[in-house]
Structure 1
Amino acid sequence: MGTTGRKIDWTTMLIPFAIVIMLMVVFMIAPEGSKTVVDTLRGFFGDTIGIYYPILAIGCVICSLYIALTPKYGNVRLGNIDKPLYSNFKWGTMIFTSTMAADIMFYSLIEWALYGGEQHVQDLGGTQMWAPTFTLFHWGPLAWGFYVILAVCFAFMMHVRRRNRQRFSEACRPILGNRVDGFWGKVIDVIAIFAIVCATATTFSLATPLLTKALGIVFGFEITTTVTILVLLLICSVYTITVLFGVTGISRLAGICSYLFFAILLYFLFLGGETRYIIETGFQSLGNMAQNFMGLITYMDPLRESGFAQNWTVYYWAYWLVWCVATPFFIALISKGRTLRNVVYGSFGWGLAGTYMSFIILGNYGLAQQMKHGVDAIGFIGNGGEMYEAILMIFDTLPLPWIALLLLIITMIAFYSTTLDGITYVSSSYSYKQISSEEEPSRKIRGFWSIMLILLPIALLFAQNSLYSLQGVTIIAAFPVGILLILIVWSFFKDFINWSNENSSR
């Protein structure tokens, strides 16, 4: 069955963009007033009821492990094929590169320095012990748990129940029934797409300055708004070409990304002169996190002595929660032929392996420059310096830094392309009223989303005052996404019971 124009759901496609554009106009017309409102809401969701996010994160990990460890759930095979569609390596690289791989690489280079200036880190025992520990914690099992549990739910819906709508609303059908075909289904899907658009816009704001500055250093030109736009268009062209080839194109780009990623890791690990320090600090950080894990996942700073939990831990859980709208669908799509147990262990395993390698090698190299060689990235950022400038300070300490920067540029562009490929593919599927997991969205729809997802980051270049506010909107958007996540997981367990009963009666 081919996808046709009559099946396009224009409401779900256009309303989220209209909301985001309206917010941007408000931010530009009344920047101070809108910032005050957003900050107030962000304070409520991130501070007053901030405990909501860690409880949700812990619950996702527990549910995921329960499904994997319980034979009746874990042994369920996805689809009617005997072996997986993709090899373990291809599958694993697509899981890692289609998530937040570019953000992971960016934060790997500098996040330790953000924690180094926090009083809470000094009170616990200092930068050397705790800054790299918190990087592993905030990008560890609890963060990936959001992806994993939803990937399980969507995979069961797509490949076992074979539903022909790939949407958040469809995943809620076992609980909400036919209401997902009407108003409430529209509300759910608009919230989901709105979260995707906000997450995409804010993530581009992180790396674009670093990419443009690095390009300027390597090729010797001045950084202007025009150059920044050209960088965004370059990323857009790469991921648009890839996504037009469907999952096959995404798979090939993911493989290329993995080799580029290993190349930059090896460059830092063996050519930077800090191999022993990097490995030992990573080993120590993993042990420190494991020893203090229960305390870390439940720490909420009730007296608000430092605000660390609210400014960082709650922020990250909300940030990952917003991103989990698109990525789990893609993980589910490429997991046909695997069991639910494979999905849980594989997603955790490949996701954490890539994430931890990045933070341990890239992050600890920078920490070594701070602690051993006087490159004061912590002080630079604490005095108002930009994160990307601090990253470039660290790159200057490498042998032949221009080669390392060139490798960084190519890798991050490839990473952003694969991440946007996954988002574009999922968003394109959202555009149809009905589409099975066997079908691919039309190239026209994929091309439409490729262009639309890049327009907002370009627009932000001309409205810099709105950037912080939009990031605040992203965190606020995580709250209803969390409610939808609870509904989807509840629906999965109910649907599984119904499916088991149907099989028993046969």
Structure 2
Amino acid sequence: MAILKFIRKNILLSISIGIIFFLSLLVYCFTEESYNTIETTSIWVRNYFGYFYLYLGCGCVLLLIGIALSPLGQIKLGKKNQKPVHSLWAWTAMLYSAGMGAGILLRAVQEPVYMQQNAPFISKNTPEILALEFTFYQWGFTAWAFYGLFAMVVGYALFVKKKKVLVSSTIEDTIRYKPARMGIDVMTIITTVFGLIAAIGLGTTQINGGLNHIFETNFGIPTTLVLVIIISCIAFISVWMGVNKGIKILSKLNILITLILLAFIFVTSDMSNILWSFGMATLQYLIDFIPMSLAIGSYNPGIEFLTDWTFYYWAFWLAWAPFTGIFIARISKGRTLRQLLLGVLIIPSLGTFFWFSVFGSSAFQLIEAWGTYQNEFGNVFTSIFTFFEQYPLATFLNVTTIVLLISFLVTSVDSAVFVLSMFSDKGKKNPSKIHRLLWAIFILLGASAIILLGDAKPEIDVLIAVQKLLIITSLPFAFFMVAMTFIFIRELIKDTKASLS
């Protein structure tokens, strides 16, 4: 009762939870109708606004590079003589764990191989280089530009303008109508929750698939639910401890294990081929970035391919942009805009490129050695475990991957819970622990409900439905990003001129 009373007193929290609960109830009671509506609406969004997503992504990358290299890049998020609160190593570990995490394990082998077997467009490069290049494109600058844009705008509002940690605070000087600003914050929370629940559902499904693969059994829904509970509990402990004790330590551990796993596959594979592929694909990606981003001419893979891959990825990155960007802003105090933007764009992108080069190139060579490909890496949930079977210490690698999947999901959940808590606790930089507890419980219940619904309605792929829902919920956010960016640039230029006069 005390918790319900607490929720009722917080308007933003009660409205957000009320809307999410209503939508969840609607989906549960009218599952098939809801699925059909989501399917139809997502196709409509992708058909009419898919290219808008592409143009928005390209524009974000160019804008951030322009600001970083301009005199505006010297603006510091904090006092002039203040040093970064977190070291480059800790900062990179936290932003990468929050922003990518389990996804790089989910797609490490499956996506490059798919692109090799199903070339997105005709290229003068080999299928292998093209496959890596297009994978880089979908995991590179654009994704991090969405995150970086929010990090820049919110970080400026938080550490320069001394405003609250709310998305609405970035436009409050222009839009003074409180219900409209609250609507923006509610939209942010709903988009974040759906994006997080989708990630947990996908991640736990892959972990379950890995366990089934290792033990050659069929762990069902109970195992998946136990995994969700374990992940949520560890995430709650981490977020309860705070950024410096819980989230930072787990993030560093994630990156350390990832680097060890990466190094092992690298040194036991054809290193020269991997390095050559990494260099060639990265160079080609830089050359082709603009035409690929605009899908023009021979770089257009067609609406069906874009719909299944790029439009979905852009919608997913947009759905994660609010909480990831705000979390990055929260840990970036003391850095200049140049350090923030170039760091966010370049460091994690290059790390991701090398990751996919190691796993992708090694998978290509395995397929070549086999002489034929029977879709061994086609299952997104088990492909990496099948891949490890071709290497020494396969069981150790598989177990390590499962531990890493859990750890990455934990750091994504704890980062999101921390940001959601900042939202609901009136934009405080260090939200109260009751808010952290509430959101941890709510995320646990939401993820569990999605998995149970998928089991109760086996004829409908609920996880796919949640992913498609992201495409719908991220659309209004995409439009808001445009307005937010214009307002921010105008204020930035105005503030800069005022400081110089």
The two structures share one fold, judged by TM-score above 0.5? yes
Q: Distance in 1 between matches of 2:277 and 2:373?
A: 19
**1:301 to 1:122, Cα distance in 2 relative to 1, 3 A:** closer
Q: How does 1:188-267 map to 2 (within 5 A)?
A: 188-218=184-214, 222-248=218-244, 249-267=246-264
Residue matched to 1:473: 469
Q: How does 1:299-378 map to 2 (within 5 A)?
A: 299=295, 307-374=304-371, 376=373, 378=375
**1:50 to 1:403, Cα distance in 2 relative to 1, 3 A:** same
Residue matched to 1:399: 392
Q: Distance in 1 between matches of 2:374 and 2:204?
A: 20
Residue segments in structure 2 that go unaligned for 5+ positions in a row: 455-459
Of the candidates 415, 419, 428, which is equivalent to residue 422 of structure 1? 415
Which stretch shifts more, 19-28 or 87-96? 19-28
CA contact (8 A) 2:295 2:301 kept: no
Matching of residue 36 in structure 1 with residue 30 in structure 2: no
Instruction: Please list the CA deviations of residues 99-138 of structure 1 after superposition, one character each: whole Å capped at 9, or x if unmatched.
Output: 1221123222321233345364467766423222111011
User: CA offset at residue 227 of structure 1?
Assistant: 1.1
User: CA offset at residue 28 of structure 1?
Assistant: 3.7
Q: Distance in 2 between matches of 1:16 and 1:398?
A: 48
What is the Cα-based RMSD across aligned positions, in Å?
Answer: 2.5
CA contact (8 A) 1:229 1:458 kept: yes
CA contact (8 A) 1:199 1:322 kept: yes
**1:170 to 1:305, Cα distance in 2 relative to 1, 3 A:** closer
Instruction: Please list the CA deviations of residues 286-310 of structure 1 after superposition, one character each: whole Å capped at 9, or x if unmatched.
Output: 2332332222111168998562223
Q: Distance in 1 between matches of 2:427 and 2:46?
A: 36
User: CA offset at residue 326 of structure 1?
Assistant: 0.4
Matching of residue 169 in structure 1 with residue 168 in structure 2: yes
Q: Distance in 1 between matches of 2:169 and 2:9?
A: 14
CA contact (8 A) 2:278 2:354 kept: no
Matching of residue 389 in structure 1 with residue 382 in structure 2: yes
Residue matched to 1:484: 480
Matching of residue 445 in structure 1 with residue 438 in structure 2: no
User: CA offset at residue 222 of structure 1?
Assistant: 4.4
Aligned to 1:462, the other structure's residue is in SS state: helix
Q: Distance in 1 between matches of 2:255 and 2:136?
A: 20
Residue matched to 1:130: 130
Q: Distance in 2 between matches of 1:124 and 1:462?
A: 47
Matching of residue 459 in structure 1 with residue 449 in structure 2: yes
Of the candidates 282, 307, 310, which is equivalent to residue 278 of structure 2? 282
Q: Distance in 1 between matches of 2:161 and 2:372?
A: 56
Q: Distance in 2 between matches of 1:328 and 1:420?
A: 14
**1:377 to 1:115, Cα distance in 2 relative to 1, 3 A:** farther
**1:205 to 1:129, Cα distance in 2 relative to 1, 3 A:** same
Residue matched to 1:156: 156
Q: Distance in 1 between matches of 2:500 and 2:401?
A: 54
Which stretch shifts more, 238-247 or 105-114? 105-114
Instruction: Please list the CA deviations of residues 402-435 of structure 1 after superposition, one character each: whole Å capped at 9, or x if unmatched.
Output: 1001111121211111121211111000012252
CA contact (8 A) 2:239 2:417 kept: yes
Which stretch shifts more, 405-414 or 125-134? 125-134
Q: Distance in 1 between matches of 2:87 and 2:270?
A: 34
Q: Distance in 1 between matches of 2:236 and 2:26?
A: 30
Q: How does 1:136-151 map to 2 (within 5 A)?
A: 136-151=136-151
Structure 1 residue ranges (4+ consecutive) displaced by more than 4 angstroms after TM superposition: 5-9, 121-126, 216-222, 300-306
Q: Distance in 2 between matches of 1:9 and 1:361?
A: 52
User: CA offset at residue 263 of structure 1?
Assistant: 0.9
CA contact (8 A) 1:8 1:433 kept: no
Matching of residue 74 in structure 1 with residue 64 in structure 2: no
CA contact (8 A) 2:8 2:14 kept: no
Aligned to 1:49, the other structure's residue is in SS state: helix
Matching of residue 19 in structure 1 with residue 19 in structure 2: yes
Which stretch shifts more, 49-58 or 109-118? 109-118
CA contact (8 A) 1:375 1:394 kept: no
**1:402 to 1:51, Cα distance in 2 relative to 1, 3 A:** same
**1:126 to 1:11, Cα distance in 2 relative to 1, 3 A:** farther
Residue segments in structure 1 that go unaligned for 5+ positions in a row: none
User: CA offset at residue 53 of structure 1?
Assistant: 0.4
Instruction: Please list the CA deviations of residues 223-279 of structure 1 after superposition, one character each: whole Å capped at 9, or x if unmatched.
Output: 1211111111121122111111111121111111111111110121123x3333322
CA contact (8 A) 2:240 2:436 kept: yes
**1:480 to 1:305, Cα distance in 2 relative to 1, 3 A:** closer
Aligned to 1:451, the other structure's residue is in SS state: helix
Residue matched to 2:288: 292
- Normalised by the length of structure 2, the TM-score is 0.90
Q: Distance in 1 between matches of 2:369 and 2:9?
A: 57
User: CA offset at residue 18 of structure 1?
Assistant: 3.5
Residue matched to 2:180: 184
Aligned to 1:397, the other structure's residue is in SS state: coil
Which stretch shifts more, 360-369 or 20-29? 20-29
User: CA offset at residue 380 of structure 1?
Assistant: 6.4
Q: Distance in 2 between matches of 1:301 and 1:26?
A: 43
Instruction: Please list the CA deviations of residues 135-188 of structure 1 after superposition, one character each: whole Å capped at 9, or x if unmatched.
Output: 10111112211111221111110001001x211111111321x21xx2111211
Which stretch shifts more, 345-354 or 118-127? 118-127
Q: Distance in 1 between matches of 2:331 and 2:381?
A: 34
Residue matched to 2:51: 51
**1:292 to 1:400, Cα distance in 2 relative to 1, 3 A:** same
**1:398 to 1:108, Cα distance in 2 relative to 1, 3 A:** same
User: CA offset at residue 220 of structure 1?
Assistant: 7.1
Instruction: Please list the CA deviations of residues 197-236 of structure 1 after superposition, one character each: whole Å capped at 9, or x if unmatched.
Output: 1111111222212212323455676412111111111211
CA contact (8 A) 1:83 1:338 kept: yes
Q: Distance in 1 between matches of 2:12 and 2:126?
A: 48
**1:172 to 1:30, Cα distance in 2 relative to 1, 3 A:** same
CA contact (8 A) 1:17 1:197 kept: no
**1:280 to 1:157, Cα distance in 2 relative to 1, 3 A:** same
Q: Distance in 2 between matches of 1:433 and 1:359?
A: 40
User: CA offset at residue 190 of structure 1?
Assistant: 1.1
- Normalised by the length of structure 1, the TM-score is 0.89
